[in-house]
Structure 1
Amino acid sequence: MGSRTRISHGVPLAPMTTLGLGGLASVLVDLQDSADFPEFVELARACPGDPVCLGSGSNVLVSDLGCDSPVLRLNNRGLRIGPRDTDGRVLVEVQAGHLLTDLVETAIAEGLSGMEMLVGIPGTVGATPIQNVGAYGQEVSDTLVEVRAWDWALGRHVTLGARECGLGHRNSVIKRSRRWTLLSLVFALYRSALSTPVTYRAVADVLGVRVGGRVPLAEAADAVFTVRRRKGMVIGCSETDRRSVGSVFLSPEVSPADAERLRARDAPVSSFPDGSTRVSASWLIQQAGFELNSTIVDGVRISSLHYTLVADEGASAAAFRDAIEIVLQRVLRCSGVRLTPEIDFLGTWRPAGGLGAPV
């Protein structure tokens, strides 16, 4: 492969994830330049199993048994900001391995609006359309123009428009398939000194403005960062809750009847951009009787700051998966609503409860 691409065998994956759990990768390829990707294709074809891509490991649980499929770490970085087009947009082309935090900071520094509410979200840019990353009123679907990817079914490079990606609430056609590996992305931002409208009351309260108001880009980002830190949703912000993936569960979609029933219990039920109606997963977990900082299984507990799961010393990937199942089942019994894990399961897993079959 290219001189900046490294191939390793029997590599521990746990240190490459924010949970710090999991076994070995049989083959790990660290790709620094997407120009070398065709050589990875040849390697992958010679290995058992479909290749998997690991970004910053901030939304993944690696099996204790490790991963027999070839694991690709995309570290291709860089971005290019184009001129303003006839629609007033500024197209920004970004390599898939570029860190999302760096992209957001660059956009703010360049006076480009559309991503300022995504501040503090870990991971690579290439991971963002896979589950339509979003927070505090902004989603990747708001700005994504297209992705450039390798299509394993067709055996060639392809370009998918945002509509073809099927972006929904933390979902996409890319997430539901192993068909594509994303190599670069194009976003459309706008020249503006002001943020998009502030739609979340917690952020508006920090800023001291009304919901719907607009503020300087950096001020909006600072306010979002403040809210995220309070909830323990910034990597490294809490010494006690360091080993986390943020939200373990999606906010589940509910029917109109369930929405009415839950609203009668003062549940935070909201309408989302994809047309769905959803209830807060954190609220459901709290209502099921789980307490902050309470142990679920050995080594896994509810965070001390937010109703999500974190790992402690002595945890295993199997224990973390068991904790997910325990929370899922108790919430179902107490509310009649089934939670869905947002986290990605990577590697070889023994069959378990109602979580399905992770890859």
Structure 2
Amino acid sequence: MSMRVTRGVPLAGETTLAIGGPAAVFVELQDLADFGEFVALAEALPGAPTVLGAGSNVLVSDAGCSSPVLRMHTEGVRFSGEAADGRVLVEVQAGHSLHDLVDTVVGHGLAGMEMLVGIPGTVGATPVQNVGAYGQEISDTLIEVTAWDWALGRRVTLDAAACGLGHRTSVFKGSGRWTLLTLVFALRKDELSAPLTYRQVAERLDVPVGSRVPPAEAARAVLDVRRGKGMVLGCSAADRRTVGSVFFSPELTPAQARWLHGEGAPVNHFPDGSARVSASWLTRRAGFVLGGRLAEGVRVSYLHHTLVADEGASAAGFTEAVDVVVRRVLECTGIRLAPEIDFVGDWPQRLRPAS
């Protein structure tokens, strides 16, 4: 069967943090042709459905999730033609691995996604917070998405403008209205990557910042940098229970940007006009040390200033650790961090992290 329904499944095993209670109803979908069957099931159950891709950006409540949870296993990449500007159109199933998609398009000589290599998760999750890294974002290449609109009770197609893509946000972020089904990207046939705007990536290739190299070389360099920070799943046995970036890179005022630039912080400028600084740099500046314990079963990674889970970790403990970091960074720098991860399930209000 291409749709499997089980009850009481522990969601800890479905997330990269390995934290969380059970799902009252857990559905695994292999074939998009059976999505209508899931709709019929969900409409007969209480609560809006929650969709999990690879579970790499979520923290599930210790109490679990009383509403139905859908795990998308739908996979497939189809080169579907050419856009008006000559770019190649690529249609992708929502459950497809983003890392695999980047490998596929780079292997076909297409540029536009090479800097997104190594980011965990599924393609369907990428527009939700306009996933980006090392100078590229999903908004650079996304053309349209097909989604199920739970408010209208039908399938809809939204172009990129209707998705409201901003810096790590979209109309989908924090909304249960849509379930993304397929996505279409437009990539260019090019022997050279986008300009290397991040110093660490350029240094890895021993070229000046702003250089363009073959997309495969750019992807390998990005992957090396990410591995060095423990930001590739499975690259570190000690830090394997991770969500990667726990906090958004905060937007800075002009005064804050000038001060941090003078302090040697990695202040980056984005297409929306904002200046932002790495949350990991702020965490280090606030005095947190690699490997430092923050709560029961939760500590700073040994490789990078982000949070990871160990034996004994719980959702309550992880939110405690998040709050500790938020408070101390605010005290030390005057800058407030906001969690990037999604909080899934039935959360008591008192355990909601500060934002």
TM-score relative to the length of structure 1: 0.96
The 1:356–1:305 alpha-carbon spacing in structure 2 relative to 1, beyond 3 Å, is closer
Match of 1:163 in 2: 161
The structure 2 residue matched to 1:222, chosen from 201, 220, 223, is 220
Q: CA deviation at 1:335?
A: 1.1
- Separation in 2 of the partners of 1:216 and 1:6? 42
Contact 1:131–1:175 (CA under 8 A) maintained in structure 2: yes
Change (3 A) 1:261 1:210: closer
Q: In structure 1, give the amino acid aligned to 2:60.
A: V
Alpha-carbon separation, structure 1, partners of 2:40 and 2:80:
33
Aligned counterparts of 2:76 and 2:354: Cα–Cα separation in 1 = 37
- 1:13 matches 2:25: no
Cα deviation for residue 196 of structure 1 reads 1.4
2:256 maps to which of 255, 258, 271: 258
> Aligned equivalents of 2:83 and 2:281: distance in 1?
43
Paired amino acid for 2:228: R
Residue aligning to 2:292: 294
Q: 2:343 aligns to what?
A: 345
Structure 2 equivalent of residue 94 of structure 1: 92
Question: Equivalents in 2 of 1:81, 1:139: separation in Å?
Answer: 20
Q: Which segments of 5 or more consecutive residues in structure 2 lack a partner in the other structure? A: none
Q: Are the equivalent residues in 2 in contact too, given 1:325–1:353 (CA < 8 A)?
A: no
Counterpart contact for 1:74–1:96, Cα < 8 Å: yes
Alignment counterpart, residue 182 of structure 1, candidates 180, 183, 198: 180
- Select which of 201, 206, 209 maps to 2:207: 209
The CA deviation at 1:356 is: 6.0
The residue number in structure 1 matching 2:72 is 74
> Are 2:257 and 1:273 equivalent residues in the alignment?
no
Cα shift at 1:24: 0.2
1:197 offset after TM fit, Å? Answer: 1.3
Note if contact 1:325-1:354 (Cα within 8 Å) is conserved in structure 2. Answer: no
What's the counterpart of residue 21 of structure 2?
23
Query: Which of 312, 315, 324 pairs up with 2:313?
Result: 315
Q: Deviations over 1:299-357 (max 9, x none)?
A: 10000110100000111111011100111111111111110000111001112367369
Partner Cα distance (1:79, 1:108) in 2:
13
Structure 1 unmatched ranges of 5 or more? none
Counterpart CA distance in 1 for 2:89 and 2:262 is 45
Q: Please give the alpha-carbon distance, in whole angstroms, between the structure 1 residues aligned to 2:333 and 2:274.
A: 19
Name the residue aligned to 2:232: 234
Percent identical pairs in the alignment equals 65
Residue of structure 2 equivalent to 1:132 = 130
Give the alignment partner of residue 106 of structure 2, picking from 101, 105, 108: 108
Instruction: Give the letter for the 1:174 counterpart.
Output: F
Between the aligned partners of 1:108 and 1:265, the Cα distance in structure 2 is 37
TM-score by length of 2: 0.97
**Which letter maps to 1:247?**
S
Match of 1:282 in 2: 280
Letter in 2 for 1:77: E
Cα distance, 1:172 vs structure 2: 0.8
Is the counterpart of residue 117 in structure 1 residue 115 in structure 2? yes
SS in 2 for 1:282: helix
Matches within 5 A, 1:40-79: 40-79=38-77
SS in 1 for 2:124: helix
- Count of aligned pairs: 355
C-alpha deviations, 1:92-117, integer Å up to 9, x for none? Answer: 00000011111111101111111111
CA distances 1:98-153 after superposition (whole Å, capped 9, x unpaired): 11111111101111111111111111000000011111111100000000000111
2:139 to 141, 153, 157: 141
CA distance in 1, matches of 2:106, 2:262: 41
Aligned partner letter, 1:131: Q
1:324 matched residue in structure 2: 322
Partner residue of 1:305 out of 288, 303, 306:
303
Seen in structure 2, the aligned counterparts of structure 1 residues 5 and 354 have a Cα distance that, compared at 3 Å, is: closer
- Label 1:351 to 1:86 Cα distance change in 2 as closer, same or farther (>3 A): closer
Partners of 1:195 and 1:266 lie apart in 2 by 28
* 1:273 CA displacement: 1.6
Report the more deviating stretch, 251-260 or 47-56. Answer: 251-260
Q: Is the 8 A contact 2:116 2:132 kept in 1?
A: yes
